[in-house]
Chains A and B, each alone.
Chain A
């Protein structure tokens, strides 16, 4: 009787057994890596806008405060996008013929709002509130990065639930004093641990409730 299995069958069996272990592992690891990669989270990807507004120029070089345009940030859930009128407060007098600003002038002339493209888009089941963060020691750059150094706006952080929880579980590591909230170049001091604990008490943050589902979801 002829051999049922060729000499190579043994190799295939071994490879097959190896694949049984290696394949699921590779898939799990690569899947995990994919969901954390900027390819999936969009971190660092510049979003094209109808007008190439530069935060680096306005907030960085000119030093205009975030709240000059985002007027609602201390009062409402949404920080607020400036109406065309805000752009024209300065651009009615300077760079009045700039080609780049033609859509702004058209917007004012025709009373049509500019359609900016959203850069930070949270899932609809998340109820994020800007005011509660900026009035409780969380600065702009903790989530938005050093905006004053961004020519075009890009996401600086993944804004995933795990990322949010990382801070909600231990906010002290990111808290800053009132005077530094709008400083986008703020860096943690060496003794952030100690200062953070003091700030936790200063702002009256109740850490034990920060991870309740209803804090972010309804």
Chain B
């Protein structure tokens, strides 16, 4: 508990508020104090505090940036879990496929297209076309292959390791498999059409 004696009124304040020859002095001084309070509240100093927020400037650090490069050899606390998640395929169920679809449509569709035929809008704009997932080679490829490509990149495709979480990579691989099955259905239909 804070004792009243801990915080005596500031001497200047006492001097300012007490006495005075002019009858109105007291009122005038209180008015002046109120004016000061008003001015202080107009300053809004706390809007810019000397603390670091994401992506703010920090002269003490490299490149005047608050975000610092991780020192060589640093191991994240969740690294074992991440490695384990990358090594162990999760159980494929409806929830994983839903997750896979959502992640696929964020990160993969720009190039691979919604149906996985390698005809995304970025390809339309001149990016070298990726192979269609319907290719026999990719149909035969194990899920690990897709996870590996997402993690490490392939050809002109950059690594997505910084963007897609390990478990989500498996989810995307499972969704690609679903796209391949859907594609096969379409192909069979097309074959049926051709046979007519």
Interface residues of A (CB under 8 A from B): 62-65, 67-68, 71, 77-78, 81, 83, 85-86, 88-90, 92-94, 112-113, 118, 123-125
Contacts and interface: CB of A to CB of B under 8 A. Distances in A.
Interface of B: 44, 46-49, 51, 53-55, 63, 65, 67, 105-107, 110, 121-122, 125-128, 156-158, 162-163
Nearest to B51: A124
29 contacts: A62-B121, A62-B122, A62-B125, A63-B121, A64-B110, A68-B107, A68-B163, A71-B163, A77-B54, A81-B55, A83-B162, A85-B158, A86-B163, A89-B157, A89-B158, A90-B122, A92-B158, A93-B127, A93-B128, A94-B122, A94-B126, A113-B63, A113-B65, A113-B67, A123-B46, A124-B46, A124-B48, A124-B51, A124-B53
B49 A125 contact: yes
B55 A78 contact: yes
A85 B162 contact: yes
A78 B67 CA distance: 13
A35 to B, nearest CB: 12
A90 B121 CA distance: 11
Given A112-B63, A113-B63, 7 more contacts: A63-B121, A65-B106, A77-B54, A78-B54, A89-B158, A94-B125, A118-B55
Contacts of B157: 89
Question: Which of B105, B125, B128 has most chain A Cβ within 10 Å?
Answer: B125
A94 B156 CA distance: 11
B153 to A, nearest CB: 9
Nearest to A67: B106
